[in-house]
Structure 1
Amino acid sequence: MKKKLIKLSAKEDAAITKAAMADPDARPLTDAEWERAGPTLIRGRGRPLGSGSKEQITLRIDKDTLDFYKSKGEGWQTFINLVLGEVRRESKSIAMVEKKMNQGVLIKSKLKIAA
């Protein structure tokens, strides 16, 4: 069943606006306030927008490795990003990362601070 929209007359609309303006706790927004609020009302349903500096990818990781990082709780994806960023900052090149992996000295004690 379709509901009908009841349109107010100009007189009824003015009376409602006058009553709302008289109530300090329920004051309607001014046009300027609506302009400032406009951009925040554009976003619809769904996940919030990201920071813009990260890229969403699909990555296949061993289950036990993933479980290890997920055990950190909320923020585990950010933590993985921090770990990978630390490896990158410490190593300067992929060749150096591979060399450190083979030597078993991939990450120095700096990472223990982040944990």
Structure 2
Amino acid sequence: MPTRSEQPTIHMPTAEEDRAITAPAKSDPDAQPLTPRQLQSMVPIQALRGRPKSEHKKLLVSVRYSQEVVAYFKSTGEGWQARMDGVLRQYVASQPRNR
């Protein structure tokens, strides 16, 4: 595959060419320019991608569990790590706080 060492040159239209392009577009009722309010409400696509941010951020840790525990939770299907977290959270909630 050939590599390109040069950036493509972008040629901007002159003011006259821009008017010639813009006039027909403005006369099309289905292609009206966005209002300032519409422009204000626009969000970059990156902000919409991916998993929603959690209210409860989790920490990445390395933990060793017995094979039987991991095998059991894995056998429950996708989301086994979240279920494991749920079991641990229930345990923590059931414990007295004065330790």
TM-score bracket for this pair, using the shorter chain length = 0.5 to 0.7
1:50-91: CA deviation from partner (whole Å, max 9, x where unpaired)? 314223221322362334323333322221221111112222
- In the TM superposition, 1:64-79 aligns within 5 A as 64=67, 65-79=69-83
Output the aligned Cα RMSD: 3.5
> TM-score, with normalisation over the residues of structure 2?
0.57
Deviations 1:91-111 (A, max 9, x none): 23486xxxxxxxxxxxxxxxx
Instruction: Evaluate the alpha carbon distance shift between residue 37 and residue 61 of structure 1 in structure 2; reply closer, same or farther with a 3 A threshold.
Output: farther
Q: 2:23 & 2:94 partners in 1: Cα distance? A: 63
The 8 Å contact of residues 69 and 76 in structure 1, kept in 2 or not, is answered as yes
d(CA) in 2 for partners of 1:20 and 1:71?
60
Bigger relative contact order, structure 1 or 2, given CA contacts below 8 A and separation 6+? 1
One of 34, 39, 44 as aligned partner of 1:34: 39
| TM-score, normalization by structure 1 | 0.52
Alpha-carbon distance change, 73 to 27 in structure 1, aligned in 2, over 3 angstroms? farther
Structure 1 partner of 2:3: none
1:1-115 paired onto structure 2 within 5 Å: 1-14=6-19, 15-16=21-22, 18-19=24-25, 22=28, 24=30, 29-38=34-43, 40-41=44-45, 43=47, 48=51, 50-62=53-65, 64=67, 65-93=69-97
Report % sequence identity. Answer: 22
Alignment length (residue pairs):
92
Consecutive unaligned residues of structure 1, counting only runs of 5 or more, are: 96-115
CA distance in structure 2 between the aligned counterparts of 1:77 and 1:33, rounded to whole angstroms: 42
Task: Return 5+ residue gaps in structure 2 as ranges.
Answer: 1-5
Q: Which has the higher helix share?
A: 1
How many angstroms apart in 1 are the aligned matches of 2:71 and 2:32?
A: 51
The residue type equivalent to 1:36 in the other structure is: S
